[in-house]
């Protein structure tokens, strides 16, 4: 597959004319490898509906269940929508999708059908870069730690649960290894992490604040994607965080997301 870099180290956009529904099995394997290496992959002008999207999601791997059932939409797809009645949208802080799951997502695939005339970009941050830009001493310290991820925010609604206590929290290493690249990435996010297990509450709060500021303000590890109708974006939640910019009120933005199951996070070295 031909692609161009979004930045020198992060993100890829497939060449014009590439149709996801026409990819061979070898191309799908290459797409997953590209997402693992570059973090995000953008595909423009896709001839795809919700059924095509669900079918392609299954080619990437097992799809996470979406308890929010939508009429005439295949199971596993989540509606992403905002409009004149929206006062906030999901994803308005840096996060990795549903990291509170014991086996959290691998790749997320978002396809937009309706986009505002301007605004509504998604910002992405490279967690390989976030980890590698820390000092060796802090890297080694973080490798010894685990964080508790809580099913907070909009995920409570999407899960069908009525109380947060009905959903389990899960601990994951603060630094995780991607199985396809062998590279280590920072794996804490402000959307789901409650605390670092091995530290006191104050120590955890201060260290997480340092890491979150590092992610938010290190623009050299970030890129942003401008949506167009029929754009599809893949991101690898193992090594990417994203932030949905809600700067287009009262315009409409609508699409569908399908999320592929990953594996239990681990640190190899």
So where are the chain's domains?
3-261
Q: pLDDT tens digits for the chain (269 residues)?
A: 899 999 999 999 999 999 999 999 999 999 999 999 999 999 999 999 999 999 999 999 999 987 677 888 898 899 998 888 887 777 678 999 989 999 999 999 999 999 999 999 999 999 999 999 999 999 999 999 999 999 875 555 455 555 556 678 999 999 999 999 999 999 999 999 999 999 999 999 999 999 999 999 999 999 999 999 999 999 999 999 999 999 989 999 999 999 999 999 999 98
Please name the residue that has the structure tokens 């890829």: 12
C-alpha–C-alpha distance, residues 213 and 6, integer Å: 23
| Contact criterion met (CB below 8 Å) for 260 and 64 | yes
What pLDDT shows up at residue 86? 85
Q: In the prediction, which pLDDT does 220 show?
A: 97
Query: pLDDT tens digit string along 118-146?
Result: 999 999 999 999 999 999 999 999 999 99
Model pTM score: 0.93
Is the Cβ–Cβ distance between 185 and 237 less than 8 Å? no
Predicted pLDDT at 88: 72
Q: Are 267 and 238 in contact (CB under 8 A)?
A: no
| Alpha-carbon gap, residue 80 to 242, rounded angstroms | 14
Residue 89: predicted pLDDT: 72
Determine the pLDDT at residue 72.
Answer: 85
pLDDT digits (tens, 9 = 90+) for 9-20: 999 999 999 999
Query: In the prediction, which pLDDT does 154 show?
Result: 52
Q: According to the CATH classification, is domain 3-261 in 2.40.30.10?
A: no
């Amino acid at each position: 597959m031909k692609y161009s870099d979004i930045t020198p180290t992060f993100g890829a956009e497939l060449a014009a004319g590439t149709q996801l529904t026409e990819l061979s099995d070898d191309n799908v394997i290459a797409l997953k490898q590209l997402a693992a290496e570059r973090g995000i992959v953008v595909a423009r002008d896709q001839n795809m509906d919700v059924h095509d999207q669900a079918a392609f999601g299954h080619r990437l791997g097992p799809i996470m269940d979406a308890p929010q059932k939508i009429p005439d939409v295949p199971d596993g797809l989540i509606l992403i929508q905002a409009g004149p009645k929206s006062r906030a949208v999901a994803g308005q802080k840096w996060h990795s999708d549903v990291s509170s799951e014991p086996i959290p997502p691998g790749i997320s695939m978002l396809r937009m059908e309706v986009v505002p005339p301007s605004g509504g970009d998604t910002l992405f941050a490279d967690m390989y870069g976030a980890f590698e830009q820390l000092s060796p001493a802090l890297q080694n310290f973080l490798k010894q730690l685990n964080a508790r991820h809580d099913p907070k925010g909009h995920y409570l609604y999407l899960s069908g649960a009525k109380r947060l206590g009905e959903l389990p929290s899960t601990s994951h290493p603060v630094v995780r290894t991607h199985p396809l690249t062998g590279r280590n990435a920072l794996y804490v996010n402000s959307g789901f992490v409650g605390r670092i297990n091995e530290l006191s509450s104050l120590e955890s709060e201060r260290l997480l604040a340092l890491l979150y500021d590092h992610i938010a303000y290190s623009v050299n590890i970030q890129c942003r994607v401008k949506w167009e109708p029929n754009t599809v974006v893949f991101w690898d939640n193992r090594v990417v965080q994203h932030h949905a910019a809600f700067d287009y009120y009262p315009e409409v933005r609508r699409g569908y997301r399908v999320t592929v199951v990953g594996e239990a996070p681990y640190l190899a070295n």
